[in-house]
A = this chain, B = another copy of it.
Amino acid sequence: MATPSPFESAPLSTVTLAVDCMGGDFGPSVTLPACEAFLARHERAALVLVGKPEALSNFSHPRCRVVTASEVVGMDDPVEVALRRKKDSSMRVAIAQVKDGAAQAAVSAGNTGALMAIARYLLKTMDGIDRPAIAPQLPNMKGGATTVLDLGANVDCDAEDLLQFAVLGSALVSALTGNESPSVGLLNIGEEAIKGSETIKKASQLLREAGQSQDLNFYGNVEGNDIFKGTTEIVVCDGFVGNVALKASEGVASMISGYMRQEFSRNLLTKLAGILAYPVLSALKKRLDHRRYNGAALLGLRGLVFKSHGSADALAFGYALDRAYDAARNNLLERVRARIAHAAPLLGRADADAQTEVTALQD
């Protein structure tokens, strides 16, 4: 399937990303312009573009090669269909590039459930990790980003899962920011009377132990608002809670911007005020632009995969590519392995379970 290109003689330190060009709501019309801009930004980067031949035929670049795939995973395809029926999908072929060592990370804007299932099936879970997690970054008041995991991949988590998320998140943040000891908060609720469920209490204990043994920089419990305050670099929670917190936050942000539009377009005077305030409002919009935070890592697998929002435009998809690139060139995978090895006594239990689950998936 592969078309050889000059890229193959590139020096070893080149980082290559495999891009599922068909994924997302807009497919190649978004992914290809983003890839072109990405290559222009990063002189040492190379890409493997994966997709239907007719969609990619007009694109060529010296640091780019095309690998064709005959199928596309639809945004609404059930996991089973994506995993078992579409074995030549662009999503799967892109992830296979990572498995085969032809790329250091894969990026897709396709359906999250399918992406996680295929990535897990092809790449397998790392030793010491029960469940891979999805870790996006959210903006915070300190002007940085808070990494939150899990964001929807794991619905019922136990305390050990939350500890593993903390280890995975720490590796990700250290690879992306260079901070080798990022702080971790455990998402909890604040009422005196009700300090969280049994799972949270146990997770808090495990994280405290990990903190004492210096495997983690555990801050303690945090609340929902701390995600946006930036109290800690990393916030761990189960996938259900994380997903609800993320969507609720998006809901509030939409409501506020909707209200702003309404108030500024109420009459001639308010419209004039809007024009005069335009530079300020557009600076505000830029700071809140969620596209800058696009690109969530799938962590805990034996290979790097990044998920872009399905509705990403070329700018947003470019941020996901950049994030994957940074993670790959800063050896995220090695960092994860090292942190897991270091925390092994605390994570001990995970190994057997993980293998059972992978076997179940293969059936």
Contact = CB atoms under 8 A, between A and B. Distances in A.
Size category, A interface: 35 or more
Given A189-B240, A259-B287, A287-B259, A197 B274 contact: no
A33 interface: no
B255 A228 contact: yes
Interface string A140-157: 110000000000111110
Which has the most chain B C-beta neighbours within 10 Å: A190, A229, A244, A272?
A244
A246 B114 CA distance: 30
A254 interface: yes
A82 to B, nearest CB: 9
Given A189-B155, A224-B245, A241-B241, A273 B270 contact: no
Nearest to A284: B263
A14 interface: no
Contact of A189 (B111, B243, B252, B270): B243
A260 interface: yes
Q: How many copies does the complex hold?
A: 2
Given A227-B251, A251-B229, A252-B228, A192 B140 contact: no
B141 A240 contact: no
Contacts of A1: none
A321 B172 CA distance: 48
Contacts of A277: 264, 273-274, 276-277, 280
Interface string A207-248: 000000000000000011111110000000101110111111
A157 to B, nearest CB: 10
A79 interface: yes
A244 B241 contact: yes
